[in-house]
């Protein structure tokens, strides 16, 4: 299958590489020359523009930072044409960005007018899951479009859920990430408290992992350095899922909660704490670095 992949960041790059390894024909593009050079050096064909990448593509996949980027890419603006003008009718578009559900619906509706099928398919699983091809996809859109996408999604992920109509995948994602942000803060507080009392963080982590406080952070993504070799915390919080990206997702959750009049007090508090952490100069670090916010100074 000929696939165009737009967006080669920490998540998109490895996802595109897994499709290439699976035997698909790819044409990729990213505005970052550094990202293009990195993955181009690993054998990924790089196009000169997004419009060039989608020529004759059967499937177009995008993995971009925010709603404005997705809307700008597909719909254009300020006199610039959108990518939907370059994509041929009958093509399937899979947007794996995490953006506002309303934006997903807006772009999907514009795509439908041009005879282009589109699903929103944000992911969970972090950079480790992107590299290993074990991501979870939360899909919004028509069932038949999901089934068209399934053979492609299966090369990048281990779990595929149909959440509902267009935008539903985004809603599921912000619910998940709101919970993740809250859990990471709680896990960091507990570990910091234990260490302040002289406990070994490895021992405490294992105790809590096997007890009622067990959660994904303790299982896969420990925020304390040198407890889990594979976690960003043990790599100076480099790579992974940035604090500013978590802040963005928590903001989306609060915007959605306001729109539907849902009560999310812990989600609101988590957003404020990540905002403070970002303002302290840690926005580019992995979100598990929020441990620094609650850690006792040594």
> What is the set of active-site residues?
173
Copy the structure tokens of residue 147.
Answer: 């089934």
> CA angle at residue 165 from 159 to 168, to 5 degrees?
60
Nearest to 3 by CA among 28, 36, 32: 28
- CA dist., res. 152 & res. 59, Å (int): 9
Copy the structure tokens of residue 13.
Answer: 């790059």
Copy the structure tokens of residue 68.
Answer: 């404005």
- CA dist., res. 127 & res. 100, Å (int): 22
What is the rounded (10 degree) CA torsion for 94, 99, 102, 104? -10
- Kindly give, in sequence order, each residue whose CB lies less than 8 Å from that of residue 244, ignoring residues fewer than 6 positions away: 278, 283, 284
E-assigned strands of the chain? 2-6, 25-29, 59-62, 92-95, 117-120, 123-124, 135-140, 157-164
- CA dist., res. 208 & res. 249, Å (int): 27
Tell me the Cα Rg of the chain.
Answer: 20
Phi, psi angle pair for 286, to nearest 5°: -55, 145
């Amino acid at each position: 299958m000929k696939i165009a992949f737009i967006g080669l960041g920490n998540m998109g790059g490895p996802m595109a590489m897994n499709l290439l390894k699976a035997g698909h024909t790819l044409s990729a593009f990213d505005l970052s020359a550094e990202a293009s050079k990195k993955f181009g050096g690993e054998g990924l064909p790089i196009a000169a523009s997004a419009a060039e990448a989608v020529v004759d593509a059967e499937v177009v996949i995008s993995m971009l930072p925010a709603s404005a980027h997705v809307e700008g890419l597909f719909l254009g603006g300020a006199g610039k044409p959108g990518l939907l003008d370059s994509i041929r009718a009958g093509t399937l578009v899979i947007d794996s960005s995490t953006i506002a559900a309303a934006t997903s619906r807006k772009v999907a509706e514009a795509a439908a007018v041009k005879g282009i099928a589109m699903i929103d398919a944000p992911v969970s699983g972090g950079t480790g899951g992107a590299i290993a091809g074990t991501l979870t996809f939360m899909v919004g859109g028509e069932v038949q479009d999901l089934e068209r996408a399934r053979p492609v999604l299966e090369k990048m992920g281990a779990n595929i859920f149909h959440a509902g109509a267009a935008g539903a995948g985004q809603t599921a994602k912000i619910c998940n990430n709101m919970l993740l942000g809250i859990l990471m803060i709680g896990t960091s507080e507990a570990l910091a408290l234990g260490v302040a009392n002289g406990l070994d963080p490895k021992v405490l982590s294992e105790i809590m992992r096997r007890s009622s406080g067990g959660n994904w952070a303790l299982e896969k993504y420990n925020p304390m350095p040198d407890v889990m070799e594979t976690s960003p915390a043990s790599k100076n919080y480099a790579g992974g899922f940035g604090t500013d990206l978590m802040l963005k997702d928590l903001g989306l959750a609060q915007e959605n909660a306001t729109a539907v009049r849902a009560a999310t007090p812990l989600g609101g508090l988590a957003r404020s704490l990540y905002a403070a952490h970002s303002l302290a100069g840690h926005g580019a670090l992995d979100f598990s670095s929020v441990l620094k916010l609650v850690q006792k100074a040594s």
